[in-house]
Amino acid sequence: MKIWTTASGYTITRVIGGRCNVYLLSNGGKHILVDTNLSRYRHTLVRSLETLKIDRLDALVLTHTHFDHVENAAFIQKQYSAQVIVHVSEAEYLRRGNTPLPSGTILPTKILTSLISKRVQSHFAYEPCRADIQADDGFSLRSFGFNARLMHTPGQSCGMMSLIVENEIAFVGDAMMGVYPNSIFVPFAEDASQLVRSWGKLLDTECTLFLPGHGSPVGRVLVEKCYRRRVSQ
């Protein structure tokens, strides 16, 4: 497990990496989980939380409701008494347990989604989950014990949210990726232009580290470089 610490002493732990990152934000005895990974990694998630001696979570922030981020959401809500927070525009998807798949943004993924997305949509259903809080842009997490807020950063999905912690570190879900060298662009998105505008919103914060749902942490310099390149096209 990789750990970061903010200037004021918050601890951020990546409790699961690989297919989809899951992060734990902690402030003393207060804990917020960010995303949940696939159901087949549930045992790994539970074991990681047990290692950290976590038996209760104050909240579960879902950056968005694509299956690979939410398949354990209902379990976490029940098992850890976590209040589930999701953007208002995706709360109904979460309740139904089925979120539309995004389109491709590059030629191979455009071809792939045009050929199979409608036929395979049913295979990406997940256990439905009730949203305790339907958040929108600027939602504060001070009541949970954190100097943090949620920022609406759509593009990859309509309700993508980033969790901004003390204007220092941002959990960005699939608003960007840390997989490809010298690029943060994602291979699937509902609106690629809107996605790039969301990068601009994230750069308007003072955050220097961006923690994506997939891949490695991304530094501010790379985000600035990718943003300038896209807006100049």
CATH of the domain at 121: 3.60.15.10
Mean pLDDT value across residues 76-84: 98
Query: Is the model's pLDDT at 168 over the cut of 90?
Result: yes
Write out the residue range of the structural domain in which residue 39 sits.
2-97+104-231
The total number of structural domains in the chain stands at 1
Helical H runs in 99-219? 107-120, 192-203
Rounded to whole angstroms, the Cα distance separating 221 from 224 reads 5
Average pLDDT, the chain: 92
Tell me what pLDDT residue 55 has: 96
What does pTM read for this prediction?
Answer: 0.93
Confidence of residue 118 (pLDDT cuts 50, 70, 90): low
Q: What region does 167 belong to: left with phi over 0, alpha with psi -120 to 50, or beta?
A: left
Tell me what pLDDT residue 105 has: 65
Rounded to whole angstroms, the Cα distance separating 87 from 151 reads 10
Tell me what pLDDT residue 188 has: 78
Tell me what pLDDT residue 38 has: 96
Tell me what pLDDT residue 114 has: 59
Tell me what pLDDT residue 7 has: 93
Query: Is the model's pLDDT at 122 over the cut of 80?
Result: no
Spell out where 30-185 has E strands.
30-34, 59-61, 83-87, 103-104, 133-135, 148-152, 161-165, 169-173
Query: Is the model's pLDDT at 119 over the cut of 60?
Result: no
